[in-house]
A and B are shown apart, each in its own frame.
Chain A
Amino acid sequence: MQKVLLWIPQLLGGARNTIIITIISVGIGIVLSLFLALGKMSKHKLISKPCSAYIFFFRGTPLLMQIYFIYYGLPQINPALTIKSAFNAALLAFTLNTAAYLAEDIRAGVQSIDAGQFEAARTLGMSYWQMMRLVIIPQTIRRVIPPVGNEFIMALKDVSLVSIIGLSDLTKVTRQISSSQATAMVYIPAMIIYLIITAVFTAIFRQVEKKNSAY
């Protein structure tokens, strides 16, 4: 018991990194994914093809390889592409990856909106961006909160992959304690911390969902 108390500060430090990487990458990923989703739905092939290719690539290859490649591979292509800190490399890989998944959620959300909404907006003279901003995106947001929430929870756990490039997230810290003190018992408080984080963010997303169901 005494030992557990000693582990806690270290575990919480790891948890902090886990949460920061998740929030930043999902946050930036959402913005990026919106453009990817709209881009993939564009009538112009010059816009839709690259967006489709991006999404295909990041969903079609393992995140682990993407992290490796961004951290170790890019500098070999061109030294100018070196990302010094493991934290930034992990953040970049995660953001790019999450954006691809979120883009598909958003695209599904937009496509689930009745064609009549687009037609009414057009008949009223709205431009593409006015239609998106005033009519389509507000309705999409409401529909994509649950899948985005899921994506967030998945990302939270996928962050454990960043330990391979040396970043001290919750999983990495746990493994370090486990091997240095020769005990697997540290996994118990670590998993409890994961569960608490997941529960808190699930509750937050549920709250956001409620706030968005005024209509």
Chain B
Amino acid sequence: MSIIRTENLCKNFGELHVLKGVNLTVEKGEVVVIIGASGGGKSTFLRSLNNLETITAGSIYFEDKLFVRAENGKVLEEMPKKEKKEALLKMGMVFQRFNLFPNMTVKDNVMSAPVHVKKIPKAQAEETAMELLKRVGLADKADEYPSRLSGGQQQRVAIARSLAMSPDIMLFDEPTSALDPELVGEVLNVMKGLAKDGMTMICVTHEMGFAREVADKVVFMGEGKILEEGAPDEIFNHPKTKQAQQFLGSIL
């Protein structure tokens, strides 16, 4: 079963055509890494999947059910509201700039959505939050405010916060690119752990080591489309398109 499938996904911002027909299928348990030049629409693609952007045309299927279909900027078909909400809850998202809630402690960041959105009893949510914080190695920071944490620690909390909603798929938008180089490893390790535990993931990242180690598929985006996709070795060692060759040449 595919968790996410897009067909001819297009997104315009006014006159700017950012996505021009993206077709991507992500199977359950798959780890997909998206690479591509800055401004190529990688964030826009993830945000479209997560309903943070309204698509201009094309369709998105979630667990083989139509999530949304649009044409010429108009939504033609959409999942019923309640189902849509549930589908969105199954998608976790981790942002480049963490976006932790500064007014809450680390633990409250992790447990607030389970308690208020999922109506999980507080004690149980707290227990889960502590387990997740342990998993990302931050149990001892549970009562701190995010501003007291390093970037790498904040991003690990953000991952725990997302996991607390028990997502079926996690979207990562350049989770390590706002971090100092020495803090990248700790975040990647958490992500590798998730991948090895079978989490379905779409990661926009240029961390080649990470991609080689855990990616099932690497997707190269350019000109608003998927220009190339395949196994990590295939893409990294033998890129076929000029654009991919150029891009890989520039970052390696």
How distant is the Cα of A209 from the Cα of B174 in the complex, in angstroms? 36
Enumerate A123-173 residues with CB–CB distance to B below 8 Å.
Answer: 123-127, 130, 134-135, 138-139, 142
List, in ascending order, chain B residues with CB within 8 A of A119's CB: 52, 95, 99
Of the four ranges (under 10, 10 to 19, 20 to 34, 35 or more), the interface on chain B belongs to: 20 to 34
Interface string of B90-101 (1 = CB under 8 A from A): 011101010111
Determine if A120 and B88 form an interchain contact, defined as CB atoms under 8 angstroms apart: no
Pairwise interchain contact A116-B99, C-beta atoms closer than 8 A: yes
Give the shortest distance, in Å, between B153 (CB) and chain A (any CB).
15
Point out the residue from B52, B97, B117, B146 that lies within 8 Å of A124, measured CB to CB: B117
Q: Is the CB of A116 within 8 A of B116?
A: no
B117 in contact with A130 (CB, 8 Å): yes
A125 CB contact (under 8 Å) in B113, B147, B158: B113
The answer to whether A125 and B97 have CB atoms under 8 Å apart is: no
Q: Within A85-122, which residues are at the interface with B (CB < 8 Å)?
A: 114, 116-117, 119-122
Q: B93 contacts A123, CB within 8 Å? A: yes
Residues from chain B with a CB closer than 8 A to the CB of A126 are: 113, 116-117
What residue in chain A is nearest B52 (Cβ atoms)? Answer: A119
- Interface 0/1 of B156-175, CB less than 8 Å to A: 00100110010000000000
Return chain A residues, CB-CB under 8 Å to B95. 116, 119-120
Counting chain A residues whose Cβ lies within 8 A of the other chain, the interface size class is 20 to 34
Main DSSP-derived SS at the A contact region: helix
B116 pairs with A215, CB closer than 8 A: no
Chain B positions within 8 Å of A192 at CB level: none
Chain A residue nearest in CB terms to B117? A125
A120/B101 in contact, CB under 8 A: yes
Closest A residue to B93 using CB positions: A123
A182 in the interface (beta carbon within 8 A): no
Q: Which A residues have a C-beta under 8 Å from some C-beta of B?
A: 114, 116-117, 119-127, 130, 134-135, 138-139, 142, 214-215
Binding site for A on B (CB under 8 A): 50, 52, 85, 88-89, 91-93, 95, 97, 99-104, 112-113, 116-118, 145-147, 158, 161-162, 165
Closest 4 CB pairs of A and B: A124-B113, A215-B145, A120-B99, A116-B99
